[in-house]
Structure formats: structure tokens, C-alpha cells
Amino acid sequence: MEASAHRGSCFKPRVHEWGFPRDSAGWRMPHLGPAALNNTQAGPLAKTWLDQPGSVSPNQTWPCWPLTAGTVVQTTSEGLGIWKYPQGQPPLPPLPEDTPPRPEDRPLPPEDRPGERLVELHTSFRELFTFFCTNATIHGTIRLVCSRQNRLKTASWGLLLVGALGALYWQFGLLFEQYWRYPVIMTVSVHSERKLFPSVTLCDMNPHRPSPARRHLQALDEFAQENIYSLYKFNFSESWEGPFAEDLGPEPSFQLDRGIRLQRLNHPGRQSKVGFRLCNSTGGDCFYRVYSSGVTAAREWYRFHYMNILALLPPTREDSHRSHGGHFVFSCRYNGRDCQARHFQTFHHPTYGSCYTFNGAWAAQHPGITHGISLVLRTEQQDHLPLLSTENGIKVMIHRRNQTPFLEHRGFSIRPGTETTIGIREDEVHRLGSPYGHCSDGMEAVDVPLLYNATYTMQACLVSCFQQLMVETCSCGYYLYPLPVGAEYCSYTRHPAWGHCFYRLYRDLETHRLPCASRCPRPCRESSYKLSAGTSRWPSSKSADWILAVLGKRGHQKPSQSPRSNIAKMNIFYQELNYRTVDETPVYSVPQLLSAMGSLWSLWFGSSVLSVLELLELLLDATALALLLCCRRLRRAWRSQPGAATRASGPRPEATPLPSDCGPDLKCSGTPAGASAEESRL
């Protein structure tokens, strides 16, 4: 057995897991019995007991006693005691500095000392909270400990901390609410580099009569004259020059639906309207397709019958630039060089006639009119359908390469007898995808099969979606749009009620009641062209004769026509090679969100990310402590049951009493001579 004595120091033993106190040097202090009090070196001691008899608890709080010379601290089995020499008796002389310590007084080596546990928990929530407030880097928490003697200050600082925490998380809520809306801002930047010249689509606005359908179209023209005469008393026989002198042969097998006629609808107190009546297959559901303009009504009525005729024709494709009656393009030059036939593609539009798309792989190296494209075009109308196309001129659309031109939506017209100069400025729009917006990088993110063999555009997707719904709802497709695989075009010869179905569906598309708008997002990268145009009379009255002679069209001019009524000139060029890029940028990206959160945290608590980790550590320690205390409480409740006490009872090893013949050096005679010091301490 051993005892420890300290002189001139503050004795504060440390309690370890097995219940033995240790001093600051790591000395283990076992419990001694009453016989240990017979210390001959201490003499008559006045003992003050500081602990009740019994074992020392690991959770016991030990006071710190200032020890002066002559004070000896000794531990016994009944507790810890302090002995002082009586008054008048001199204290023990201090040991010389060169006196070697006794072997039993030396501290244990580090490898023999039991180290601290990997995880040490506090004994109570009060101790945990006090430790956190004392050592945390959050401003204001130390005030809860330092002002403990003043309850008013403690309560005030507690309310301030709770209020600051509430304000912080309220602003966090506002910040995250705005972040989860995923707002964007538009950033405009200007770039300057070489750009590919855009594609240019031109249509002569001269829809011609297909040869297999000439007899059908003649019957339609006669039916149109009857309807217009019945409404407006206008006779076409004097002004309409049609191919009626030809011998067209027997009556065509195709019969017009003469039940669909133009009608004037008069409403009391309102302007009269013109339209036509459409019914379903049973005739029980009918509605009027009405227009406030008689011209628009006559064109739509004529087009409806015209599509029924074209739907019966086999598909054809124009594969050359030669239109009916001659060339549409007299001359074409780009950047001072002549255009080649491989630079353009041709197709036929049922309403706008023969169309030509110039797709030359030309890179615009310089701005200006001399570095663009210059075209001389023919605007002469032959074999014309006056009720289908009421314009005379050229339909033009400028678009990106490999895109389908929709001239009815974005085309503009060129007037005959003029020279039109069009300057181009290009803008690029870069949109963000999900979750900031709904856009598509291509057909992979769209569930609508594109019916056009071209790059994705929103208009092409809308048309494809509508045509598929048309096939699913009406069992046929509209003639102006491509067909899905296995479908056929609508004609009231095969589908008598398709007009009723089509206009109902088209009205739902116009009022956004079809799912096509949600299924067809905008492209994430899109180019648009800003146009600025100027016109002048061309050719002039002085130069018209020789220009027409050079072009070889002087002999085809009618006496009643102006020399400039059949030709037009057009120049298209880049005004500047600078182009604007409009980029969508998120208002709050993840780094910006963290920065805003850090700014708010520093504003209310003046701390950093490590302070947040301290809070997390506090929560983890509190959770672990709560679980530990709960387990202890359950274990005590289980032991308090009678059955558990019976099961837990059993023979316990009795503590061996210490012999009473221990000498002053705490070596008992009952200890074998060969026992080690560690065995003597146990």
C-alpha cells in the first residue's frame, strides 16, 4: 500500500473510471484502512475528514486545498484527510533537492498509466451547457456564465441570444424561399467574331394549279364564284381570267361538299359576320367558323376546300429551281461571286407557291452591303388562284441553318418594283435548364417526336404535337403539316367530318387548352435576327427599259402592267459582325447562397463555420448524454423489480481487510516478500 504527500502545492486529485483518485502527477492513491493512521512520521495529527467513509465515486467533485509547508495529504479507506501539525511543533524539514525519490514514490511510467477514454461525456446537462458557454466562439454565450450571480443579466442575455437566433433563422427562411424559386437575371454581353451567313427562304407567292387537280380546282373556282355572287353580287366573269377555255374532259370523280357554303350571319345590334357551317359525322353537333372580314372568310373557306383536293394527290417534290412559267431567280451574287445551284434547296408550299432556301456555307468576314447576298427576283403571277393568295410579291424569312422556315408565322413580304435593303443583327439567347427554367437542348428532353428533318425549334415541336393530336382525334392529318408514320391526309371524301374535328382542335390550340405548350419547351440556345429594312423604287423609269431587256423579260410584259410590276431586287447583309449574347444567370448559386448565409450568421453572432460545428458538437453531446441517462434510468428501474433483484443476487467477493501491522513505509507484513509493488497496491 502507498500514500502520497504533497507540500507547498494545490492538491486536486483526478478521478478515473475505476474509482481511484490520482493527483496531477498521475500517482494512484488507494484507500487505506484505519491502521494506516498510525503513521509514526506524522506524530500527533489533527485530522479533518473531508469525505464520508466508503469508496470514492468516479463522478465525485474534489475540492482544491492550498497546502503550505507542514501539511500532509493522505488517503485512507475512509476517505481523504488533511493532517496539520499542532501549534508550536515545527514542520518537517524540506527534502534536499538532490535527494533521490524512493522507488515507491516515483510516478508510474506513461505506458503503465491508464490513458483517457476516447469519448468522455459530461456528468450532467448543466455541466455540458456551462462548458459550451465558456469555451464556444459564439459571441454572447460567455455572458450566460459570467453573469450567473446576476439573474437579471443572465435572463437578458438569454433573451438576446434567443431573439438573435430567431431573427437569424427567419432571415434564413426568407433566403431559402427566394433560392428555391430559382430566379435568374439576364446578362448581356457583346462579342465580335466571324459568323456564318444565315439561311434565306424566298417564296414567289404564286400557288399554281397541279396538273392532276386542274379539273377539281376549276369546279372549286366555279363554286366560289357562286358563293361570292350570292353574298356580294359580284360577277367574276369580267375580271377573272381562268383556264376555262380548255377541254377538261369528263366530270371529275371528286365531288365538292356543296353543303359547306359561305353564309352571312346577322345579329341584331351587332356587325354582321361571314362564315361557314361545319358539323360532325352525325350532324348533331355543328358550329359556325365566322370572321368579321368577308375577305378573310372567303380565303379560309376556299383554303378548306383546296386542302381537300390536294389531300387526294400523291406527294410530289420540286427538285429544281425552275418554277412554272420561267425562272424565279434572275440573278444571285454573294460577296461578289455568283451563287451556284448547290447553294439552295426547293420545296412547294400550298399557299406561298414555289420556295427556295439558300443554305450556302458562307462565313461573313466583313460587314456591309457589298459583302452580303444580292438577288434579282421575278414576281410575275401566272396560273394564279386569286381566292387563295391575295398578295403579289415575295415572301421572305431569315433563319438559322438547318431550321424549318414557318413563313406564315415569321415571314415578311417584299413589294414588286422595289429594291429592298435588309441589314441583319444577330442575338443569341442562352437559357438555363432545370431547375431554373424549362428548356431543351434537343429532342432528347422532349416527348414529342419531331416530324421535320431539321434541328429542334419550338414552332416545329408545336406543329408536330398538333399533327399527332389531329391524327389521334380525327383519324387523319392536316395537309399543311408532315404526316406521322402510317397516317393519311384529311379529305371529306374519306373523312366527312374532319373539318369539324380540325377547327375544334385548332381553337383549343389557340386558347392554350392543349398540352402542346407544356410539352414543347423553348430551346436552351437560340439565335434571333434583328432586321432593319429600307426600300427604293427599282428600276427607275429611265432605266426600266434596258434593265428589262437585259433580263430578257421585256416581251412578256402586258400593256396594262407597269415595267416594275414583275421584278424586285433584294440585298441582305450583316450590318456589323458584333453580336449580342443574352445569358441567363442564377441569382443565387450555391457559393452565393453560402456567402449570404455566412453574412447573416456573422451579422447576428459574429462567428464562422467552425462555430456551427461547435453547435453540432453540442447537439451530439446532448443527445449522447440523454441516451446514456435514459439507459441508466431504465437499468435502475429493471433492477428495482423483485425478480431482477433475485436474478442479480449471488456470492460477491469480500474485500480482504488490510492487516493492522503495516509499518510506516506502508508495507504490510502480510504481503509476500516476492510480491511486486503493483500487487501491493491492489
What does the pLDDT look like over 229-260, one tens digit per residue?
999 988 876 555 555 445 444 444 677 888 89
Q: Highest-confidence range of 112-126, 233-247, 491-505, by mean pLDDT?
A: 491-505
Q: Identify the sign of the CA torsion 143, 144, 147, 150.
A: positive
Q: Hey, what amino acid is at 123?
A: T
Whether the pLDDT of residue 655 is over 90: the answer is no
Least confident span in 15-19, 574-578, 623-627: 15-19
Predicted pLDDT at 391? 85
Taking residues 375-380, what's their average pLDDT?
Answer: 87
Query: How big is the chain, counted in residues?
Result: 682
Q: How far apart are CA 410 and CA 431, in angstroms?
A: 22
CA distances from 287 to 277, 280, 284, 512 (A): 6, 9, 10, 20
Q: To the nearest whole number, what is the mean pLDDT of the chain?
A: 76
pLDDT band with cut points at 50, 70 and 90 for residue 115: low
Backbone φ and ψ for 658, nearest 5 degrees, come out as -75, 140
Contacts of 673 (CB under 8 A, 6+ apart): none
- 3-class state of residue 413 by DSSP: strand
> Can you name the residues that pair with 289 across neighbouring β-strands?
276
The DSSP call for residue 116 is: P
Least confident span in 81-90, 171-180, 480-489, 521-530: 81-90
Least confident span in 178-182, 315-319, 599-603: 315-319
Look-up: residue for cell 451579422?
603
Comparing CA positions, the residue from 108, 679, 5 lying closest to residue 668 is 679
Look-up: residue for cell 429600307?
534
What does the pLDDT look like over 50-59, one tens digit per residue?
334 444 444 4
What does the pLDDT look like over 256-292, one tens digit per residue?
888 899 999 887 777 889 999 999 988 888 989 999 9
Taking residues 636-640, what's their average pLDDT?
Answer: 86
Whether the pLDDT of residue 660 is over 50: the answer is no
Q: How far apart are CA 362 and CA 631, in angstroms?
A: 81
What letters, b where the CB count within 10 A reaches 16 and e where it falls short, cover 362-381? bebeebeeebbbbbbbbbbb
Comparing CA positions, the residue from 582, 200, 192 lying closest to residue 365 is 192
Per the model's pLDDT, the better-predicted residue between 137 and 419 turns out to be 419
Taking residues 620-647, what's their average pLDDT?
Answer: 82
pLDDT band with cut points at 50, 70 and 90 for residue 380: confident
Q: How far apart are CA 375 and CA 425, in angstroms?
A: 20
Per the model's pLDDT, the better-predicted residue between 519 and 40 turns out to be 519
Per the model's pLDDT, the better-predicted residue between 315 and 394 turns out to be 394
Predicted pLDDT at 299? 92
SS3 content of the chain, % helix, strand, coil (to 5): 30, 20, 50
Whether the pLDDT of residue 679 is over 80: the answer is no
> Helices (H) and strands (E) in the chain — how many of each?
14, 29
Q: How far apart are CA 372 and CA 374, in angstroms?
A: 7
Q: How far apart are CA 483 and CA 514, in angstroms?
A: 19
Predicted pLDDT at 153? 86
Least confident span in 86-90, 157-161, 319-323: 319-323
Per the model's pLDDT, the better-predicted residue between 384 and 314 turns out to be 314
Backbone φ and ψ for 407, nearest 5 degrees, come out as -70, -30
What does the pLDDT look like over 214-227, one tens digit per residue?
888 888 988 999 99
Whether the pLDDT of residue 368 is over 70: the answer is yes
pLDDT band with cut points at 50, 70 and 90 for residue 208: confident
Give the strand pairing for 326-327 and 21-22. unpaired
Comparing CA positions, the residue from 675, 608, 622, 505 lying closest to residue 122 is 622
Least confident span in 39-43, 106-110, 353-357: 39-43
For 10, the enclosing helix (H) or strand (E) is strand 10-11
Report whether 502 contacts 490 (CB < 8 A): yes
Whether the pLDDT of residue 602 is over 70: the answer is yes
Taking residues 295-310, what's their average pLDDT?
Answer: 92
pLDDT band with cut points at 50, 70 and 90 for residue 104: low
Taking residues 525-541, what's their average pLDDT?
Answer: 91
